[in-house]
């Protein structure tokens, strides 16, 4: 469907807006480049539309606007954003782009080009696509910045997608893209991605928190002004030019805090922070940015007392993504703790726009830039050496981008930086792969320690090696860094392949020498005797000497008296046909009758009325999880095609186990009153209960059997009215890491 006249007018208006917000586009050549890319992409996508019915070109325009305004990149990046779907969705090729726009833009487009239908068809290819994106990142960081802009616009327009795709894309976003934006210093994009992911993963929670934010807005603004006024006065008096404003914390961060602390919205005190952004230190001839941060802090703490344990000094020690600021928490009016963030204008630019602003300032100040270079190098190494297990790669990558750092010393005094929680084996591989492969122990501060010993900042470490040592699988249990895990897995993989080949040769030779023909059944029975589920594991254990060939010979001779089936080639593997069953596009309805085809996940114990989704099993059954469950979200991010929409129907025949936590003031009869309500006033049964008291305060946990969330809500409401009870909440055991 071609564009209407109004749509053509609208598109031209979008071009004018794009040029207006492209602050780094100044030269005529840059303007001509963007116009050329705009016109080509407009023509290429002219007959295409999005799911919402809008012209498809509205998406590349929106991505280009994000790249220009919210990330702050230049002309080539804006042109690449406009062209980012041309090769994938139209007849243009990378060669065409290179001929028309040059090798740099062609390289960026090649890095951005998606694998056709990957996200809906194959989870391992989905991960492989992410891996390729990161590989491109290691060559040109603009690829990842544009890709994040692309994901942000897709999240902003997710309403037009079906629910099962919304959940899958939101899970992907929270699992991978938001952490990546955080690691690269794109705070604004990271925050919006998190909030949008929450909106689609947990719509009821998102709407409820949004409502509460709006209800408290007037009072919050009034309180912020009350805090700011005396600070502004003292800074003006000292001649410090700055802007001061309150910054509302994101809905996602508040929800996350409610989850981790298990408290309601009303008990989250730090809904906002005060941010002070002062002019660039060049305006202060006798000062610099760091000194100015500390000066402002001293002026503020003369007004408000501060919390000494809650000072975060990222001015002296910037984060690896380049973030610099001084955070302090002060006691504001009305006895409330308030966080205050102090930054220069340059620090603020880098904090909000990440790498783009980092490059802008890099020529003036290299401080912190090495951290970014190291990040990219570590990613590059991890990507090049990752084994084929794509889902394991995702977990390693996610762990790596979330870490903070420690600093240790070699015997010669060289300073080494490692992720927090790193062990001796991590340091060994950080020094050199061969040091890691041959490591047997270490001297930490002159004391002998095992490879699993957790290092701390300031430790002096000497790695001890042996030529007879080789990597062990158990090392993966205590290796923390992505680099160490990658090296260990690579070495183990090579050793495993060698042992499989060696073991197969030994076994086949023995079978041939004994002049035996093995049936499929006989070979399977032989493997089962050695607890090996497949032939590769069987051969590997023979090659490694775990299974002795002499012992196998005894088993073969023992069984040779049986009647063997026709000769079966050991190297052949039959393929089973896939049976047609449930897909992620279906809606699975739970009712009283169909109670054999689903299982309620024990990690989150969902009950009727909870927001839930399901994981499709190979046998076409469904495991039902709460939408807040970490296990569900991890699987949705990695294997979205296994996630199915689940709806509760009538379900009254069975009861479901839940746990509630009660806290209050210990009074005579309070426990009796609580159990009386449960046993006599509501139709639920108690499985177990446990109460403890300490200095007049009691804490209790009760396991109940309820029919649905309405039953549970009734129980919580009634117990909450008991005299002495201060809080009643449903709790879940975190089994995400089991």
Q: What is the per-residue pLDDT across 121-148, written as a single tens digit (0 to 9) for each?
A: 344 444 555 555 455 444 567 788 888 8
Residue with tokens 């951005």: 112
Does the pLDDT value for residue 576 go beyond 50?
A: no
Q: What is the CATH number of the domain that holds 88?
A: 1.10.3210.10
- Exposed, middle or buried: residue 689 (CB in 10 Å: 0-12, 13-18, 19+)? middle
Separation of alpha carbons 374 and 382, rounded Å? 12
Closest CA to 143 of 119, 174, 113: 113
Q: How many residues does the chain have?
A: 738
Sheet holding 242-248, edge to edge: 242-248, 272-278, 337-344, 326-331, 312-313
Q: Of 630, 648, 666, which closes a domain? A: 648
Asked if the model's pLDDT at residue 330 lies above 70, the reply is yes
Domain co-membership, 102 together with 13: yes
Confidence grade of residue 41 (pLDDT, cut at 50, 70, 90): very high
Q: Is residue 391 one of the residues assigned to a domain?
A: no
Residues 93 and 232 in one domain: no
pLDDT given for residue 247 in this prediction = 79
The whole-chain average pLDDT of the chain stands at 78
Q: Looking at the predicted structure, is the pLDDT value of residue 118 above 80?
A: no
In this structure, the answer to whether residues 681 and 548 fall within a common structural domain is no
The last residue of a domain, from among 600, 617, 648: 648
Least confident of 2-16, 272-286, 306-320: 272-286
Residue at 235 is within a domain? yes
Sorted by sequence, the CB contacts under 8 Å of residue 506 that are 6+ apart come out as 542, 543, 549
Domain that holds residue 612: 587-648
Q: Which two three-digit tokens encode residue 425? A: 């084996």
pLDDT at 287 over 70: no
Residues 6+ apart with CB under 8 A from 634: 175, 736
Q: Please check whether residue 433 lies inside any domain of the structure.
A: no
In a domain, 428, yes or no: no
Same domain, 232 and 320: yes
Report whether pLDDT(336) > 60: yes
Pairing of β 685-694 and β 337-344: unpaired
Weakest-pLDDT range from 188-197, 369-378, 425-434: 369-378
Does residue 91 lie in a domain region? yes
171 shares a domain with 134: yes
Do 138 and 281 share a structural domain?
no
Catalytic-labelled residue, pool 20, 39, 88, 120: 88
Asked which of 367, 391, 418 is the last residue of a domain, the reply is: 367
Residue of 136 and 46 predicted with greater confidence: 46
DSSP state of 546: S
- CA distances to 232, 286, 307, 349 from 282, in Å: 21, 9, 31, 16
The whole-number average pLDDT for the span 643-657 is: 72
Residue 260 region by backbone torsions, left for phi larger than 0, else alpha for psi between -120 and 50, else beta? alpha
pLDDT level of residue 564 (50, 70, 90 thresholds): very low
d(CA 617, CA 230): 61
The total number of structural domains in the chain stands at 5
Q: Are strands 272-278 and 598-600 parallel, antiparallel or unpaired?
A: unpaired
Is the same domain home to 177 and 242?
no
- pLDDT score, position 119: 35
User: 448-500, pLDDT tens digit by residue?
Assistant: 888 999 998 777 889 998 888 888 888 988 998 888 888 888 888 887 888 88
Question: Can 339 be counted among the known catalytic residues?
Answer: no
**Regarding predicted confidence, which is higher, 685 or 77?**
77
Task: Give whichever of 211-220, 234-243, 466-475 has the largest mean pLDDT.
Answer: 234-243
Q: Are residues 94 and 9 located together in one domain of the fold? A: yes
Quick one: how far is CA 171 from the chain centroid?
Answer: 9
Q: Does one domain contain both 28 and 97?
A: yes
* Residues in CB range of 128: below 8 A, 6 or more apart: 115, 118, 390
Give yes or no for a contact between 426 and 444, defined as CB atoms under 8 angstroms apart.
Answer: no
Q: Would you say residue 446 lies in a domain?
A: no
Given a cut of 50, whether residue 364 has pLDDT beyond it is: no
- Most confident of the following: 187-201, 276-290, 354-368, 579-593: 187-201
Question: Which CATH number goes with the domain that contains 704?
Answer: 3.30.70.260
Verify that 16 and 117 share a domain, yes or no.
Answer: yes
Same domain, 674 and 691: yes
Task: Name the residue with tokens 């739970």.
Answer: 590
Integer Cα distance of 103 and 97 in angstroms: 8
89 is catalytic: yes
Which percentage of the chain shows pLDDT scores above 70? 81
Position 169 in a domain:
yes
Residue of 8, 30, 89, 586 with catalytic role: 89
- Going by pLDDT thresholds of 50, 70 and 90, the confidence category of residue 654 is low
Question: How far apart are the C-alpha atoms of 236 and 242, rounded to whole Å?
Answer: 9
User: Measured between alpha carbons, how far is 566 from 369 in angstroms, rounded to an integer?
Assistant: 67
pLDDT at 269: 66
Stronger pLDDT, 387 or 670, i.e. the higher one:
670
In a domain, 94, yes or no: yes
- Whether residue 165 sits in one domain with residue 76: yes
């Amino acid at each position: 469907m071609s564009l209407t006249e109004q749509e053509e007018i609208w598109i031209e208006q979008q071009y004018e807006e794009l040029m207006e917000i492209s602050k780094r586009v100044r030269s005529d050549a840059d303007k001509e480049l963007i116009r050329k890319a705009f016109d080509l992409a407009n023509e290429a996508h002219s007959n295409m539309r999005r799911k919402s019915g809008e012209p498809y070109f509205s998406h590349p325009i929106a991505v280009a606007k994000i790249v220009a305004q919210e990330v702050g990149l230049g002309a080539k990046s804006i042109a690449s954003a406009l062209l980012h779907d041309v090769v994938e969705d139209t007849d243009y090729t990378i060669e065409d782009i290179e001929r028309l726009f040059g090798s740099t833009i062609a390289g960026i487009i090649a890095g951005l080009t998606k694998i056709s239908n990957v996200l809906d068809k194959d989870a391992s290819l989905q991960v492989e696509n992410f891996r390729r994106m990161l590989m491109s990142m290691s060559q040109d960081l603009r690829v990842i910045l544009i890709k994040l802009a692309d994901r942000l616009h897709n999240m902003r327009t997710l309403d037009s997608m079906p629910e099962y795709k919304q959940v899958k894309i939101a899970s992907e976003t929270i699992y991978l893209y938001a952490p990546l934006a955080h690691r690269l210093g794109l705070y604004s994009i990271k925050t919006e991605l998190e909030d949008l992911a929450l909106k689609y993963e947990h719509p009821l929670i998102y709407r409820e928190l949004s409502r509460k934010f709006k209800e408290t807005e007037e009072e919050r603004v009034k309180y912020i002004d009350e805090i700011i006024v005396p600070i502004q006065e003292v800074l003006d008096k000292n001649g410090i030019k700055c802007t001061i404003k309150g910054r509302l914390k994101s809905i996602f961060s508040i929800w996350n805090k409610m989850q981790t602390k298990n408290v309601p919205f009303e008990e989250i005190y730090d809904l906002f922070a005060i941010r002070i952004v002062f002019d660039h230190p060049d305006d202060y001839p006798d000062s610099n940015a760091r000194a100015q941060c500390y000066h402002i802090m001293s002026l503020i703490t003369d007004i408000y007392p501060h919390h000494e344990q809650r000072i975060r000094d990222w001015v002296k020690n910037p984060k690896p993504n380049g973030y610099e600021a001084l955070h302090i928490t002060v006691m504001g009016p009305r006895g409330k703790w308030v966080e205050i963030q102090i930054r220069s204008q340059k620090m603020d630019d880098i904090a909000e726009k990440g790498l783009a602003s980092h490059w802008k300032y890099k020529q003036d100040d290299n401080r912190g830039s090495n951290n970014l270079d190291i990040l990219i190098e570590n990613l590059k190494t991890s990507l090049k050496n990752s084994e084929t297990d794509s889902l394991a790669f995702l977990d390693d990558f996610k762990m790596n981008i979330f870490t903070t750092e420690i600093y240790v010393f070699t015997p010669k005094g060289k300073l080494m930086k490692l992720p927090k929680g790193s062990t001796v084996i991590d340091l060994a591989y950080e020094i050199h792969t061969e040091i890691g492969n041959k490591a047997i122990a270490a001297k930490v501060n002159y004391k002998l320690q095992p490879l699993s010993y957790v290092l701390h900042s300031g430790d002096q470490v000497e790695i001890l090696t042996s030529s007879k040592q080789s990597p062990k699988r158990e090392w993966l249990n205590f290796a923390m860094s992505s680099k160490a895990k990658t090296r260990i897995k690579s070495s183990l993989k090579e050793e495993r392949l060698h042992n499989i080949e060696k073991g197969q040769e030994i076994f086949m030779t023995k079978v041939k020498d004994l002049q035996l023909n093995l049936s499929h059944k006989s070979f399977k029975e032989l493997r089962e005797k050695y607890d090996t589920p497949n032939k590769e594991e069987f051969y590997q254990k023979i090659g490694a000497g775990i299974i002795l060939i002499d012992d196998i010979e005894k088993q073969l001779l023992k069984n040779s008296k049986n009647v063997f089936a026709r000769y079966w080639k050991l190297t052949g593997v039959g393929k089973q046909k896939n049976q047609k069953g449930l897909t992620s596009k279906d809606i699975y309805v739970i009712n009283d009758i169909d109670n054999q085809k689903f299982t309620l996940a024990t990690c989150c114990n969902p009950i009727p009325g909870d927001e839930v989704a399901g994981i499709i099993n190979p046998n076409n059954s469904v495991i039902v999880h709460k939408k807040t469950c970490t296990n569900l979200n991890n699987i949705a991010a990695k294997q979205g095609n296994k996630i199915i929409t689940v709806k509760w129907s009538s379900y009254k025949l069975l009861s479901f186990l839940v746990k509630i936590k009660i806290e209050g003031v210990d009074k005579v009869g309070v426990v009796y009153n609580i159990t009386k309500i449960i046993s006599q006033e509501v139709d639920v049964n108690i499985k177990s209960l446990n109460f403890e008291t300490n200095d007049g305060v009691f804490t209790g946990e009760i396991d109940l059997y309820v029919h649905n969330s309405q039953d549970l809500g009734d129980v919580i409401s009634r117990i909450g009215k008991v005299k002495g009870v201060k809080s009643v909440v449903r709790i879940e055991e975190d089994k995400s890491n089991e």
